[in-house]
Amino acid sequence: KKVEADREGLIATEYIIASQDHKLLTGEFFDQGSTWSRLLESRGDGGVVLARFYPRGSLSVRWGLGPDDHYPHLGGRSSVGVKKA
């Protein structure tokens, strides 16, 4: 599913790997603390998957988000110019 031109939503595996890389470069995981990311290319029981990391590195994953669900601490992650095999 295309998010914008040259962008695609992430799957859970891509989110985890990118977040680990981000931790090595910045000292923090993606969405560390109070924010969540929609993983548009991942689905659970028909709903969009959400994910975030806690400061100690544990990962929280939830699913069931509907297409019209919007929350203040919910964003998205996409690949920008990354070619997928």
pLDDT digits (tens, 9 = 90+) for 9-62: 788 898 999 999 999 999 999 998 888 988 877 777 778 888 999 988 899 998
31-36-39 Cα angle (round to 5):
105
**In the structure, what pLDDT confidence band is assigned to residue 2 with cuts at 50, 70 and 90?**
very low
Predicted local confidence at residue 5, as pLDDT: 55
Residues 8, 76 contacting (CB under 8 angstroms): no
* CB-based contacts of 59, cutoff 8 Å, min separation 6: 16, 51, 52, 53
Instruction: Specify the pLDDT at position 63.
Output: 85
- In this structure, what is the dihedral angle of CA atoms 77, 11, 33, 3, given to the nearest 10 degrees? 20
Helix (H, G, I), strand (E, B) or coil at 23: helix
